[in-house]
Chain A
Amino acid sequence: MSRIIHKFTRTVPTWQPRVTPVNLAQATPEQLEALSVTPSNTKVSDYVLTLAHDVESLKVRSPLFNAIMYDAGGMSRAERELGAIGASMVNRCIYCAAVHADRHAKLEKDTAVTDELFTKGEKADLSERNRAIFDFARKLSEAPVAATPEDMATLKEAGLSEEEILDLILSTALFGWANRLMHVLGDPVREEVSA
């Protein structure tokens, strides 16, 4: 049996689709190409097989995702993860929040920031810089967007450069996208171990 997870956690759950993923055995040549399936690589997650229903989007999404989260320069990787976490908390995407809180903790070699965020939410006790980053990410993620010129000024006062601010906008916005796939198309679940 599996149980749906409702609380924020750094322990990454399993993602269970609410629609039927593409069956690899019946995939079209375009789908196989987008999935990068080769005879030696036939392991594809249910999430990617679900997205393979829209092969044109799937093909463009991975390079964009990787560039926003991992390209050199600009904002640090850990701070980009904070943008992703801010979005995922607003949208309550438990799965995305877990993956990116885990990455943040590993990059920082410290769980303090994500412990605070998951325990106290908006009232978390954060450094001035992390506070400015998290608040901006949170407000940019609201619908309608709630970030203001004052929030932008706060980022600059906290010492962020133009390049860092652009990376924060991109990583936060990207999770506005990822959350609306992960949280809408599936459930975060944990397998129950029977005694």
Chain B
Amino acid sequence: MSIFQTTALAAAGIDTGAAADAAQTRANIMNATQAAEDAVIAPLYTGAFSHELRAALAARIAAAGGVPELAERYLAKAGDMAALADPASDGGDLAHIIAFVDRAANATKDIAASDISDLQAAGVADADIVRLCELVAFTAYQLRVVAGLKLMKGAAA
């Protein structure tokens, strides 16, 4: 896979120019970012979160983060979970998961011990809480890489 086919660079629309040249010098990081995406969006051990649900949550986080180009890519993989990708959806049966994802992704500084104990009280296993945090945390990283790359591309235009 060329680094320009990785989600981050493709979503930012980067294949030539100064930003592309800079990305080439960090090809290992671009490839490792893609490997991390595979590990959180399509893991072998899914725990309580199917690949489709993971894609829907990533799309939701990317949309709320202000990076629609990334949200679109994840939405395409969300299958019958696609409705959850809309930041306006309250999540229905998964409301406790959605509420946590939104706070951890978009109001990180306000997270407190009660956010975790509420998930535990709702029957979410500790291993699944960690899986959910990795999904939120990775997507928060990737959307900011894409946002930054877009600004680099814009400045070179």
Point out residues on A near B: beta carbons under 8 Å. 18-20, 50-51, 53-57, 59-61, 63-64, 67-68, 71, 73-74, 90-93, 140-141, 143-145, 147-149, 151-153, 156, 162-163, 165-170, 172-174, 176-181, 183-185, 187
Partner of A185 from B29, B116, B141 at Cβ < 8 Å: B116
Point out residues on B near A: beta carbons under 8 Å. 18-19, 21-23, 25-26, 28-29, 32-33, 35-36, 39-40, 43-45, 47, 64-67, 104-109, 111, 113, 115-117, 120, 126-127, 129-131, 133-134, 136-138, 140-145, 147-149, 151-152, 154-155
B137 touches A177 (CB 8 A): yes
Majority secondary structure of chain B interface residues (helix, strand, loop or mixed): helix
Cα A186 to Cα B77 with chains together (Å): 31
B65 touches A145 (CB 8 A): yes
Q: Which residues of B contact A53 (CB under 8 A)?
A: 126-127, 129-131
B65 touches A56 (CB 8 A): no
Given the known interface contacts A74-B26, A180-B108, the answer about A57 and B36 at a Cβ–Cβ threshold of 8 Å is: yes
Q: Which residues of B contact A174 (CB under 8 A)?
A: 141
B126 touches A19 (CB 8 A): yes
B134 touches A64 (CB 8 A): no
Majority secondary structure of chain A interface residues (helix, strand, loop or mixed): helix
Instruction: Give the 10 A-B residue pairs with the shortest CB-CB distance, closest first.
Output: A169-B148, A144-B66, A180-B137, A173-B144, A177-B141, A53-B130, A92-B109, A19-B126, A53-B127, A64-B32
Given the known interface contacts A153-B155, A172-B144, A173-B141, the answer about A54 and B131 at a Cβ–Cβ threshold of 8 Å is: yes
Q: Which residues of B contact A59 (CB under 8 A)?
A: 39
Partner of B144 from A60, A141, A151 at Cβ < 8 Å: A141
Given the known interface contacts A64-B33, A147-B151, the answer about A176 and B144 at a Cβ–Cβ threshold of 8 Å is: yes
Cα A74 to Cα B2 with chains together (Å): 21
